[in-house]
Chain A
């Protein structure tokens, strides 16, 4: 996978993950172009389109579009599956996820994605394992945070 974009029906970007190094300018250009193209498509149309030398696979969940770019030889259906799997993961993690969850916890959405995909390849095919990894990392984070209250931090205890 080359990159993954999440954007709303209004064309607002909600998440972007690039697995190929590109300059910011290029990223912005691609994003703008793709958001326009995908939003212009009618609901009854299929989820694939050819764009430059890549294939775009997108799917709409509620008000959010999940959009992935893959290479010519890659399998479109498995990419759809990946998108669906990611949505399932988000759903499990947030508990029936909505767009606002992703907006306000965008870093969590990234963490989940990072446990699921690495460098554009599927890293873990088991949903359980992905969530376990994210939750344990969260636990580690909380452990580190809770015992250090503000007072403790400034050395008053």
Chain B
């Protein structure tokens, strides 16, 4: 053994430490991966050694490698070993490694529970601190459940260092184990008034974080926070509190009114920008929630806007950015106040920082009005020209479109101008947003009927100009625009001035270089154009011209028939056949124009995007039921509407049955309607004009009108929108003059033009240039009301939406705190439950007291609400009264405890019932004592006895003193200078109903035998009648188990230990056990301080170590109803005693 250690230490001298590793990595720049894999091999060797220092060094190096991106999950167990080292040096490294690489998926994490618990209760505050820090990074729901109580206890630790850490980590615990929130909350609230500023700020932090997610549960804390806000000078804390108020005010408008004043004071006085920014943000939030009724609220807004202006004008880019960000929040509700600073925002568009420019763009969106839209867009267009990066240029482009199209084109008064802007945008090379421009063109052309004529003229010019087509590569997104242009020219071909010219443009050979989907649209719309030209020519009685066009089609279409794109090819060949047929008819002088144009009769209307979703399910229709009993075969497929190419289908039908008689058609139509009615996939929209044309095929006559354009056509590529700006200005001027003449008439005119546009007052003066009717999108009949469902079910904060004012039910207590029974009825109840108990130090009574307070408060709150409706003035007075009441109730003891509802929690439903190692020591009518004994590997002859003292009486207990009769073997550690007969004073007093924990250290020589010590607790009980000396005798039982310390062991070491042969062996068997093996194992591990080494089915090996270094190995097997345990230990007496204790535990299972 000694030899092994020597070897370990010498090896250690040759091991690389972290510095060597880092240096090595830096020296091996070329073959870093190779070097590191070599290092990892070395580390693996080091981890196999017994020397903990070597292991810690190895783990430290692994942590570094983990940061470099290497997987170290394989070393998780070694990390736990280092975590459980007794020396702080190693423990620190172990916890650091764990916090860096453990996560919820790490399976060995469950092995750490006991280790962490031990460290949390360590006498060294740094051990506790390091454990808390580590836990904050890798806490899992299981750890949170098991350790919640320990951490809660630490919130009342004597050292502020521990208290503040414990308070902060509670937030993580709440997130993982929401059930702990209610039991822990009263204590958390207490910490808001902790004497230590660090603890206080931690508590503020936690409550603010909680409250921001679920503000309504924390409204009752508002007065407390208000006090803190007006008294605190710590900016970190102030920021949190102010943020919290921002979350609370939407729920309580009265709070907002109160807040405005202190907040504006802060805004005026503070020099800290972070605080100023937070205040401004909260004031904005408050003003948003206070929709009206604030007399000086415009003053506050003005103040905010002014301060923000200062931020934006600052040379610091960060402040500029945040100023713009906050400005955009104000903009949402108070656009007027922001619009005054348009100059500033436009100035920011010239900033060198792109993110600032983008923020400014966001602001612009809200700043536009009918008046300034043209000007702003002009400015943006000039930026588009000089923008260097494509991303920013694309962003500008989307913004322009966004600004113009927002709220149903609310701000656009002249759509000619808008179309020309869009056309100008098509000159952008290499933009990704061609489809956006295209969508806008289509949208405007379809929805604004009056603009179609103009749009068509622009689009035909676009089609005609070669520059787009010429520069079009597959990647150039701008060619998408041609898709829109082709469609618009085809669909609204009646507005075309020179249809023949456009037709030729669309049939150019260059077109075949366009992407397939665009070509497909070309082919389809060529026919529409063709139909319209035929009609025109036939009406004008120019059969030659008509035949000429047909010939053109027949000549040019084959280039599309050869297309590689399936869609294009298919359409082109169909159409080619159709045109050839027409050619034959034309040769016979048969008029064809009407029939051809009937192919495209009817008008398309936009359908609302949600239309499909809103179709109500007809009564009696079960969508899940089969419509036809056997799943129908392919036949039914054919009858479904083909979807996208609706008109194409029409055409086929027409081709096939050109002479179908009216009756037949009617019959088919009827059958089809029947089909559709039964077809769940078919959207019914009977009254829409979209379907109407089916009923009157080929009857509608589309006249081709000669269009007289007021604006001369321009070749695209020249800046045109400016001209429209001038035209528009002139128009507005004229209008103004006109308006002066006839005020009343304009109002009538303006009214029916627009849908859904909300005019701001000043804008109302400007009437749109076109007779604009934006066709609203169609919805199916009986559209279902929209359902707002979207709340993320995975939101972790949702679980913390817990009512904190409701009195605490017993079932909600943190896992097993049963020894703190308060009233006797419950006491009897609980004693039937054999589950042993977990440590808790502080009082349920305190919670109860708190509960009382809370209840009073809510009652009071309700009163307050009522009265405030009647008299608002009294409000303040009552609040003062309330706080007085609170103080009173603190003094007064709750007397109605018996009335408390007794609910027994269903703790047994948990797969692994939480356990506690505390057991009853002694009890009388005054006091109840429970205790737990813990050994520590650091001190091989000491154990710590933690005694929880709970005052069960109405008296005040003080001068408590604990004394024991020392034995030769076991002695109580007494303060220096006291004799062996003196007692040890308990360092606290107990008010009624309060419990607290005291720790006593005992020194022990031999640990192989269990032993009992007799002792006495003496105290003075003081109540109204006077005070009495009382005492309580007890017997302290030191079991052998209490000398064991949970120590993890990995299977290699375990096997070596067993092989070594220096262990003596013994075994026991217990019958009649019904508990599951899992629970059994957990129980043994918990109560007897073992850790599981390996588990296979219902057989497990376990390990533990005594404080004096005895190894204890167990092999536990579960049979049908029995359990056998084989034990090996370096001391046979210890083993047999341990096994006896195990037997006793097992017998209870």
Contacts and interface: CB of A to CB of B under 8 A. Distances in A.
A129 B198 contact: yes
Interface in B543-579: none
A156 to B, nearest CB: 8
B161 A133 contact: yes
Contacts of A141: 88-89, 92
Contacts of A153: 5, 9, 53
Given A110-B96, A118-B169, A137-B126, A28 B69 contact: yes
Interface in B247-267: none
Interface string A45-74: 111110000000000000000000000010
Nearest to A100: B22
A48 B236 contact: no
B643 to A, nearest CB: 35
A13 interface: yes
A118 B135 CA distance: 10
Given A46-B353, A114-B133, A125-B201, A154 B9 contact: yes
In this complex, which of A16, A17, A73, A80 has the most chain B Cβ atoms within 10 angstroms of its Cβ? A73
B318 A77 contact: yes
B212 A155 contact: no
B18 interface: yes
B322 A76 contact: yes
Given A73-B212, A75-B274, A75-B278, A121 B355 contact: no
A7 B239 CA distance: 29
Contact of B103 (A22, A28, A78, A121): A22
Interface stretch (B60-68, B298-306, B459-467, B969-977): B60-68
Contacts of A49: 355
B126 A136 contact: yes
Given A73-B212, A154-B5, A123 B164 contact: yes
A119 B175 CA distance: 12
B68 A75 contact: no
A107 B63 contact: yes
B171 A119 contact: yes
B133 A118 contact: yes
B89 A121 contact: no
B225 interface: no
Given A46-B321, A144-B87, A13 B105 contact: no
Contacts of A94: none
B84 to A, nearest CB: 15
Contacts of A133: 129, 161
A157 interface: no
A119 B318 contact: no
Q: Interface on chain B toward A: helix, strand, loop, or mixed SS?
A: helix
Nearest to A16: B67
A20 to B, nearest CB: 9
A97 interface: no
A104 B541 CA distance: 94
A76 to B, nearest CB: 6
B277 interface: yes
Contact of A150 (B9, B69, B104): B9
Contact of B273 (A19, A28, A77, A106): A77
Contact of B2 (A13, A21, A114, A154): A154
Contacts of B103: 21-24
Contacts of A14: 67
Contacts of A103: 22
A104 B22 contact: yes
Contacts of A81: 274
A107 B89 contact: no
A98 interface: no
A13 B67 contact: yes
B559 to A, nearest CB: 46
Contact of A121 (B68, B71, B168): B168
Nearest to B170: A119
Contacts of A46: 317-318, 320-321, 353, 355-356
Interface string B65-85: 001110101000000000000
A107 B320 CA distance: 37
A125 B198 contact: yes
Contacts of A150: 9, 12-13
A45 B63 contact: no
Contacts of A93: none
Contacts of A44: 317, 352-353
A23 B105 contact: yes
B6 interface: yes
A114 B136 CA distance: 10
Contacts of A137: 88, 92, 126, 129-130
A39 B1141 CA distance: 64
Interface in B131-180: 132-133, 136-138, 161, 164-165, 168-169, 171-172
B64 A155 contact: no
A75 B356 contact: no
Interface in A117-157: 118-119, 121-126, 129, 133, 136-137, 140-141, 144-145, 150, 153-155
Contacts of B132: 118
A18 interface: yes
A45 B239 CA distance: 26
B423 interface: no
B436 to A, nearest CB: 21
Which of A21, A42, A126 is the most central at the interface, judged by chain B CB atoms within 10 Å of its CB? A21
A152 to B, nearest CB: 10
Interface in B307-345: 317-318, 320-322
Contacts of B317: 44-47
Given A77-B274, A110-B96, A111-B96, A45 B355 contact: yes
B995 interface: no
B136 A119 contact: yes
A76 B318 contact: yes
Contact of A155 (B2, B206, B355): B2
Given A24-B71, A48-B355, A107-B96, A140 B322 contact: no
A135 to B, nearest CB: 11
B392 to A, nearest CB: 12
Nearest to B63: A107
A126 B87 CA distance: 28
Contacts of A42: 352-353
Given A21-B138, A140-B126, A107 B60 contact: yes
A87 interface: no
A144 B318 contact: no
Nearest to B205: A121
B324 to A, nearest CB: 10
Contacts of B321: 46, 48
Contacts of B356: 46
B119 to A, nearest CB: 14
A132 to B, nearest CB: 9
Given A76-B318, A77-B274, 9 more contacts: A44-B317, A45-B317, A48-B321, A73-B212, A77-B322, A115-B133, A118-B133, A122-B236, A123-B198
29 contacts: A13-B69, A16-B67, A17-B137, A22-B103, A23-B105, A24-B101, A28-B69, A44-B353, A45-B317, A45-B354, A45-B355, A46-B356, A49-B355, A73-B243, A77-B318, A78-B236, A104-B18, A106-B63, A106-B67, A114-B96, A114-B99, A118-B132, A118-B169, A133-B129, A144-B87, A144-B89, A145-B89, A150-B9, A154-B6
Question: Closest 6 CB pairs between A and B?
Answer: A77-B274, A46-B317, A119-B136, A46-B321, A141-B89, A114-B133
Interface of A: 13-19, 21-24, 28, 42, 44-49, 73, 75-78, 80-81, 103-104, 106-107, 110-111, 114-115, 118-119, 121-126, 129, 133, 136-137, 140-141, 144-145, 150, 153-155
Interface of B: 2, 5-6, 9, 12-13, 18-19, 22, 53, 60, 63-64, 67-69, 71, 73, 87-89, 92-93, 96, 99-101, 103-105, 124, 126, 129-130, 132-133, 136-138, 161, 164-165, 168-169, 171-172, 197-198, 201-202, 205-206, 209, 212, 234, 236, 239, 243, 273-274, 277-278, 281, 317-318, 320-322, 352-356
